[in-house]
Amino acid sequence: MHCRKVLFSLSIAYLITLFITVLLSVFAIPRFEYVGHIEQGCYLTDAMLPYVECRGFLGHSIVKFIFNLPLQLLYLPVFGVISILRAPWLILLALFAWSPIVYFIWYLIKYGKNN
């Protein structure tokens, strides 16, 4: 029982992280056309598939991963299905990325009435 609450708390933290990164990506991170290629910081690219690019500071790869997480929730399932024969691990990554959201919903349905 305790393990379920810990997993539920982790899924809440995951959802809060997603929510904050979406808000920051939309309102706080500048777009490529406004900053160009900056030496230090993050910007939203204007590539065919948009993503956040970060560079020039300690931990930029971790920040880049966190800011691109909401986009990965969309890209991984789509590209996983398209390239199922060449890259089947993309489906597994998509399942891994979506599992906290699914667990959160499952927990609310199953245990939400009791708490």
The low-confidence residues of the chain, meaning pLDDT below 70, are 1, 114-115
* Interval 76-100: pLDDT, tens: 999 988 888 888 888 999 999 999 9
The helix/strand count (H/E) of the chain reads as: 4, 2
Total residue count of the chain as it appears in this document:
115
pLDDT at 1: 62
pTM of the model: 0.81
Query: 75 is written with which tokens?
Result: 């890209």
